[in-house]
Structure 1
């Protein structure tokens, strides 16, 4: 297997203008994939992400807009990506997070998190998987969370959405397990379940913890990790990108329906 084993493939990564999504898209670009970038972004932010894909090695990259709370908008985005040549690889990465006690969660918060974190993946997969099956090759990699495997207080919508994403992925994996061959690469559907990872998504939680330590951010991070993550080390988004890149390879043709934790031992407890 060469280092450019994704040449001729097209990857769509939702939420790929920053954080884990950007790192995932760059990893796929480095293996030769054309990259469809997506996210809530200004024109300048979108262009920077596209430039970053080309710098990472993508032969082509383009930004696609689409509000993931809107099924019609998702259909339009998927049609546009299909017209561009794909996707052969779909990474559902875009996500929302908000902490609140169950009794304090608003209807708007619940609906928004479920729509972006769970329903959007259903809509993208519904469009992409039948075409992957016809080709005999396809990779769906859903960025779930450690909270798709275990729960935490004050995260009801987030935990519900991520548990749902893990279940949705297992069903899709079963339905498409026989598509393709070892030679063609097959069609697989998997989840990656990160623990604490250095992204903007968790910054509000760090700030809240830091406030109890006089604004000391390092102390806030240490407190967060000590509670849950035995390694007491955060993951870097690039580490998630490398795992996605491997799951997209021909070698991973028989890995499907898995939920792979990258959590420093959190779910081993």
Structure 2
């Protein structure tokens, strides 16, 4: 096993994909608070760059549906930070449609961003992550990595695949001190989910509180949406040197959803 080059957090570095908003931004800021130097990857848009820079985060502009951007993102991160110890694969998006009507190009893009890109980024970052002896890959999956819902075929397929990738990579990485784990949150109060709540309130004739409790949280034991900071707190531990013995784990943060 490779010996750690330095145990102090200020010498550790991280890349968080989808890091300019929602869960990704919360994780990036928490790792930064933990003492890491952090880069966030997002589509190269002025607003995303401004968000990153306003928090003192290094911005990496890339389109994860493009293979060449995945390789460049790792190269740019290492060039900017000098090393890479923690990779958080968080980027993703949602499209809801019946399988028989699901747009083929959207399917291709979603699978590339949420499954192929984590594979490519992990592959391209592997030498850097294993060099430190305390490397971490954290894949942000979902409760939909365990269970299915109608009209979300691409999202659910990607998240199921991401759990398989996590477990396989963990078995291959163990001897090199690199841990690979997945976090599976339930519904999190992000701009995407807030928009879904508003849409469902309008179409179902309910108020937004009822949509949360009776629709989105129907299967949950705790009737409350998670906040992005809740996911970030768990990611902080998984990224820490204290979590050296945890690998191949699928960590459910799902309000009791999958306990049924």
- Name the TM-score class by shorter chain: over 0.9
Q: Secondary structure at the residue paired with 1:178?
A: helix
Aligned residues: 253
Quote the residue 1:139 is aligned against.
136
Q: Aligned equivalents of 2:8 and 2:204: distance in 1?
A: 48
Deviations 1:49-86 (A, max 9, x none): 2222x3xxxxxx31111100000111111111122212
Quote the residue 1:264 is aligned against.
255
Quote the residue 1:83 is aligned against.
79
Q: 2:157 aligns with which of 157, 160, 174?
A: 160
Please tell me whether residue 31 in structure 1 is matched to residue 28 in structure 2.
no
Please tell me whether residue 173 in structure 1 is matched to residue 170 in structure 2.
yes
Q: Secondary structure at the residue paired with 2:221?
A: coil
1:189 Cα deviation from its structure 2 partner: 0.4
- Which stretches in structure 2 are left out of the alignment for 5+ residues? 1-6
Deviations 1:172-215 (A, max 9, x none): 00000111xxxxxx210000001010012224432332024436
Quote the residue 1:229 is aligned against.
220
Q: Secondary structure at the residue paired with 2:130?
A: helix
Q: Aligned equivalents of 1:48 and 1:95: distance in 2?
A: 18
- Could you say if the C-alpha distance between residues 120 and 177 of structure 1 is closer, same or farther in structure 2, counting changes exceeding 3 Å? same
What is the TM-score of this pair, normalised by structure 1? 0.89
Contact kept, 8 Å, 1:17 with 1:41, in 2: the verdict is: no
Alignment of 1:102-141 (within 5 A): 102-141=99-138
1:167 Cα deviation from its structure 2 partner: 0.3
Quote the residue 1:94 is aligned against.
91
Contact kept, 8 Å, 2:217 with 2:224, in 1: the verdict is: no
Contact kept, 8 Å, 1:225 with 1:233, in 2: the verdict is: no
What is the TM-score of this pair, normalised by structure 2? 0.92
Quote the residue 1:183 is aligned against.
none
1:251 Cα deviation from its structure 2 partner: 1.1
Quote the residue 2:234 is aligned against.
243
Q: 2:208 aligns with which of 199, 217, 220?
A: 217
Deviations 1:36-55 (A, max 9, x none): 12112532431232222x3x
